[in-house]
């Protein structure tokens, strides 16, 4: 992949209750991608009924934007995986829809992964060059949660929870059909399964984060993430579940997808 002279970049952006800012943040992401000089697509997945968000995005006229809209909220992990299943890029990533992931972070990820020799690029809050405006309680939980993941899932990274990642197409195609976690611990599952299948070259880059007042993350979501992390451990090391040949559409149940609507 490193030898490809003009790779296509795919970015998935899951959006939930984002009506107040979806237009502005989508335009900002498109501008950043355009400045990179590569072919690109931004895939916005509206995670649950939000006709207002869909109508706002219809006003953005560009062939580089795809919008997927389905009626029931299924969780961030589901939205990212489904968007990735519709991507066409050589490198495939995602970024949260809020403003906490500041402009410029996609650029850092793309520059690092197109340089070659890595399977995944992870922005880290704990990188020495990172810039943070982050609540104290979330800082403490993030530190403890990532220590938990290092011990339980043997992940050799300092931070899994920043809402942006970049992967090679090969990794995405191998890993995503096997994933089950639909909500916030999906990132830990993604990386643990990738490592299980031999994708071990993870690069961390600095990130600029401004705490997002629009965030829908709650304390209970953190507790669910801990439980889901233990479930990933059980499936990975006890059941060996991820070694089975699975289809994204099979384990997600086709009937759950029948209401998917391609908006743009």
- 160 neighbors 190 (Cβ within 8 angstroms): no
Q: What is the pLDDT of residue 183?
A: 76
Cα 225 to Cα 44: distance, rounded to the nearest angstrom: 24
Phi then psi for 233, rounded to 5 degrees?
Answer: -55, -45
46 domain residue, yes or no: yes
Contact by Cβ (8 Å): 65, 44: yes
pLDDT digits (tens, 9 = 90+) for 108-120: 999 999 999 999 9
Q: How confident is the model at residue 253 (pLDDT cuts 50, 70, 90)?
A: very low
Q: Is residue 2 part of a domain?
A: no
Range of the domain at 85: 9-262
Is 106 inside any structural domain?
Answer: yes
Give the pLDDT band (50/70/90) at residue 182: confident
Give the DSSP H/E element, type plus range, for residue 226.
Answer: helix 219-233
Q: In this predicted structure, what is the pLDDT of residue 100?
A: 87
State the CB neighbour count (10 A cutoff) for residue 227.
10
pLDDT at 246: 57
* Residues 150/98/91/76 CA torsion (nearest 10 deg): 60
The β-bridge partners of 204 are 122
Judge whether 1 lies within some domain.
no
Q: Tell me whether residue 72 is in a domain.
A: yes
**Does 3 map to a domain?**
no
Asked if residue 183 is part of any domain, the answer here is yes
Domain count, the chain: 1
Whole-angstrom CA distances from 204 to 16, 111, 157, 166, 171 are 27, 12, 8, 11, 17
Does a structural domain hold residue 135? yes
Closest CA to 141 of 227, 234, 233, 226: 226
Burial of 262 by CB count in 10 Å (0-12 exposed, 13-18 middle, 19+ buried)? Answer: exposed
pTM of the model: 0.87
The pLDDT-based confidence of 262 (bands split at 50, 70, 90) is low
Q: What is the CATH number of the domain that holds 45?
A: 3.90.550.10
């Amino acid at each position: 992949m490193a030898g490809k002279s003009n790779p296509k970049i795919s970015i998935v952006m899951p959006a939930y209750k984002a009506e107040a800012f979806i237009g502005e943040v989508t335009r900002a992401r498109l501008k950043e991608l355009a400045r990179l000089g590569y072919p690109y697509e931004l895939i916005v997945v509206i995670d649950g009924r939000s006709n207002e968000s869909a109508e706002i995005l219809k006003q953005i006229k560009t062939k580089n934007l795809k919008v997927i809209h389905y009626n029931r909220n299924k969780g961030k992990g589901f939205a990212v995986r489904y968007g990735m299943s519709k991507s066409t890029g050589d490198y495939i990533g995602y970024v949260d829809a809020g403003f906490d992931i500041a402009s410029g972070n996609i650029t850092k990820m793309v520059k690092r992964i197109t340089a070659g020799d890595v399977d995944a690029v992870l922005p880290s809050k704990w990188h020495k060059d990172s810039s943070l405006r982050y609540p104290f309680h979330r800082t403490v939980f993030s530190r403890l949660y990532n220590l938990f993941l290092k011990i339980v899932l043997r992940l050799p990274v300092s931070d899994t929870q920043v809402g942006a990642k970049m992967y090679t197409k090969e990794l995405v195609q191998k890993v995503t059909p096997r994933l089950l976690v639909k909500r916030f611990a999906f990132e830990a599952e993604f990386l643990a399964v990738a490592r299980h299948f031999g994708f071990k070259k993870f690069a961390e880059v600095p990130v600029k984060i401004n705490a997002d007042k629009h965030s829908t993350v709650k304390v209970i979501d953190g507790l669910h993430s801990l439980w889901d992390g233990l479930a990933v451990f059980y499936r990975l090391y006890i059941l060996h579940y991820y070694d089975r040949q699975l289809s994204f559409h099979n384990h997600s149940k086709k009937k759950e997808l029948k209401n998917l609507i391609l908006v743009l």
